[in-house]
Structure 1
Amino acid sequence: MPDASTAVLTIDLAAIAENYRILSEQVAPATCGAAVKADAYGLGAATVASVLHRAGCDHFFVATLDEALALRPIVPTAQIYVLNGLPAGAAEAVAAENLIPVLGTLEQIEDWRQHCRTARPKPAALMIDTGMSRLGLSEKDTVRLAGDPALLQGIPIVHAMSHLACSDDEANPMNIRQLTLFRALTERFPWPGGAKPTLSMAASSGCFLGTDYHFDLARPGASLYGLEPMIGRPNPMRPVVALEGKILQIRDVDLGMTVGYGATHQFKGRSRLAVIGVGYADGIFRSLGNRGAVFVAGERAPIVGRISMDLMTADIGHLSLSACRVGDPVEIIGPHQSVDDLARDAGTIGYEILTALGSRYLRRYHAAGPRA
């Protein structure tokens, strides 16, 4: 049972639904799906997927088979794509739950083809690598696959995708190189049965690169959860996450005193400290020590000293004595500081902040409205 000092993580489900609407309009007439991998970027896949499904989403992308199996009861009629591909020996389980494996190697394709031959044919997707050099069929293997129709014989290929490496930077020439290669490779295929699959390249940032990148289906993730999709542009997404810690203690400090492990911050005069009940066990990165900030009574308060497992300390010497008390909330993420702002101070990206948020928070979900 949480006590009064427990930090509170608030997740605005109405904002997620609104962000889905914004993205759907951005990519129309293409269909808008949703990436809910990594527990919907740490926000709770079961709850988030239900909200997105009510908002009209019918295409969900997860990373692993376990994520897909957990999601299936939540959205029993939706299409669920397993981005990490077909695990060895998992074809029967994937088919039984009507999941769509995103096949990224010739070996995975052969495994799925054998399953389709011995059981009822089930749909699959292809991942084509156009420059990320991560998962997916290489250009060489894609050309081989396109030139030998027997390799896909009996597999209903319903979707083919690639993934952009630099889509948050619209001026990066990598974008057009990948787009050109993806088009060239997919146009080589004599698709089984003559049925051309739907195509996709755009994740969150790709949705804002223009219609050439939208194809048939977009699969945003981070932007659904309020993160900035593009470098150097105002964020069009609604904020989703707020995080408040609680002040556990207020301490007076004086010239020469230090705070925290390693004594990395020494005071140059009298001040006051707010000791806040969150730390790196809660996803507050150690790199924020002596460089990040929180907001106390609406005023910026620099983090001083190292972040420890359960605690962080902020200098509140510039605030009046009446401005804050033990038990008061402290804004870590909120109106004054977005997830992306906090990430910049930590030397990382908003994705990592969201997915690192710990399990000790009291989670409060703000309900979404009815489906439009």
Structure 2
Amino acid sequence: MTIAASEAGARLTIDLAAIARNYRRIAGMTTGAECAAVVKADAYGTGIETTGPALAAAGARTFFVAHPSEARRLRQVCPEAVIYILNGLFEGALDLYASLNIRPVLGSRDEIEAFSAFCRTVRRRLPAAIHVDTGMSRLGLDLAEAALLAEPGPQNLDFEPALVMTHLACADEPGHILTPKQIDRFSQVRGLYPGVPGSLANSAGCTLGAAARHDLVRPGIALYGGRFRADREPLEGVVTLAAPVIQVREVRAGETIGYGATWSAPHLSRIAIVSVGYADGYLRGAGSTDRKSGASARVNGVVCPLAGRVSMDLLAIDVTEAGLIRRGDLATLIGDGITVDDIAEAAGTIGYEILTGLGRRYHRVVAH
């Protein structure tokens, strides 16, 4: 549903050109491997229907989603794309894999048996990825199962193994001892599946050099401007969230603001209220209290701290130092030097959660 600007509490701008630049930058870092694009969670909150074609225009040929519903939406706008469903085989949607040419990422013996049976039923050797667990302990065959599956030779399976892949657990933490173990384990797995392309690198993995590159890299958060390694700055920001001030009020020294009365004015202060809250994905934990520093917004060119707790539909900003502020002036909550990771840090979470939780009450603008 499209929300009119006059009826929304804030405007969310998605910069497709920035997403395309981020994609091309990562592709340039990983020469020799195909650069895919992860567009699960509605393209990390930016919108599959707009972001998918923008990434395809930038050069992406292969995409990864989490659910069949996302694959169906992506297929409508990217008819030529190779599409994998990361969360495995959804047996209630088996016909979709054949009718829309969607590839499941098979990560268990049960899934492999079910998809093999389906391929026999439709008399087609449909493509799929084989997911091997090398240390995440989440989805995927264990190493013994992967070896057993490979014994007759990949060409003898009832489906076409189009990709063998794993997922790095700690590549965003430089020097973590698990990362080289996973790289080594996956190299061993690759040897079991000669001729089948391999994929290991997520966003952080794209920085680990040739040993992690293999045939296909799968950046996600890096495309959308979120931090993907603790020791590196993120790529270009792609979202801007700006909300008009709906009221400005003066509070005397000692007066409290918001639920719980957790924030007290240190002196005569001016407070701007905007119509954004945790129902819009601006997390309650990003608020400011006497015990904890919260997030900030930029108003009239000045970085201003939040005042008090974020409520469901409203938040308060201390604009005392921002000069004359009137109703209707814009407060930038994300963008203009304030990143999704800044909000995430204040809320005690990660940029992924901020991006994917951006609400549906915003007026959305797509910038090309």
Aligned to 1:356: 357
Deviates more, 1:26-35 or 1:258-267: 258-267
Q: Distance in 2 between matches of 1:242 and 1:90?
A: 36
TM-score by length of 1: 0.93
Letter in 2 for 1:173: I
Letter in 1 for 2:136: M
Aligned to 1:260: 258
Deviates more, 1:137-146 or 1:325-334: 137-146
Q: Distance in 1 between matches of 2:317 and 2:191?
A: 58
By how many angstroms is 1:89 displaced?
4.1
Residues 214-242 of structure 1, C-alpha deviation per residue, up to 9 Å, x if partnerless? Answer: 1000111111111122212233x221111
Q: Does the aligned pair in 1 maintain the 2:284–2:309 contact within 8 Å?
A: yes
Does residue 285 of structure 2 align to residue 287 of structure 1? yes
Aligned to 1:169: 173
Aligned to 1:342: 343
Picking from 133, 145, 148, the partner of 1:141 is 145
Aligned to 1:6: 9
Residues 124-154 of structure 1, C-alpha deviation per residue, up to 9 Å, x if partnerless? Answer: 1101110111111122322322335499623
Q: Distance in 2 between matches of 1:211 and 1:335?
A: 35
Aligned to 2:131: 127
Q: Distance in 2 between matches of 1:268 and 1:23?
A: 46
Structure 1 pair 113/208, CA: closer, same or farther in 2 (3 Å)? same
Please state whether the residue corresponding to 1:73 is helix, strand or coil.
helix
Letter in 1 for 2:317: A
Aligned to 1:309: 312
By how many angstroms is 1:186 displaced?
2.5
Aligned to 1:370: none
Q: Does the aligned pair in 1 maintain the 2:8–2:362 contact within 8 Å?
A: no
Q: Please show how residues 196-275 of structure 1 align to structure 2 within 5 Å.
A: 196-235=195-234, 237-275=235-273
CA RMSD of aligned residues (A): 1.6
TM-score by length of 2: 0.94
Q: Does the aligned pair in 2 maintain the 1:145–1:151 contact within 8 Å?
A: no
Q: Distance in 2 between matches of 1:16 and 1:138?
A: 35
Q: Does the aligned pair in 2 maintain the 1:277–1:310 contact within 8 Å?
A: yes
Give unpaired runs (5+ residues) of structure 2: 289-293
Does residue 185 of structure 2 align to residue 181 of structure 1? yes
By how many angstroms is 1:90 displaced?
3.0
Q: Distance in 1 between matches of 2:152 and 2:112?
A: 13
Letter in 2 for 1:65: P
Same amino acid, percent of matched pairs: 43
By how many angstroms is 1:86 displaced?
0.9
Deviates more, 1:272-281 or 1:90-99: 90-99
Please state whether the residue corresponding to 2:76 is helix, strand or coil.
coil
Letter in 2 for 1:349: I
By how many angstroms is 1:257 displaced?
1.3
Residues 171-226 of structure 1, C-alpha deviation per residue, up to 9 Å, x if partnerless? Answer: 1121100010111122134x5xxxx1110111111111112111000111111111
Aligned to 1:329: 330
Q: Distance in 2 between matches of 1:30 and 1:73?
A: 26
Letter in 1 for 2:110: E
Q: Does the aligned pair in 2 maintain the 1:5–1:248 contact within 8 Å?
A: no
Aligned length: 359
Picking from 91, 95, 111, the partner of 1:92 is 95
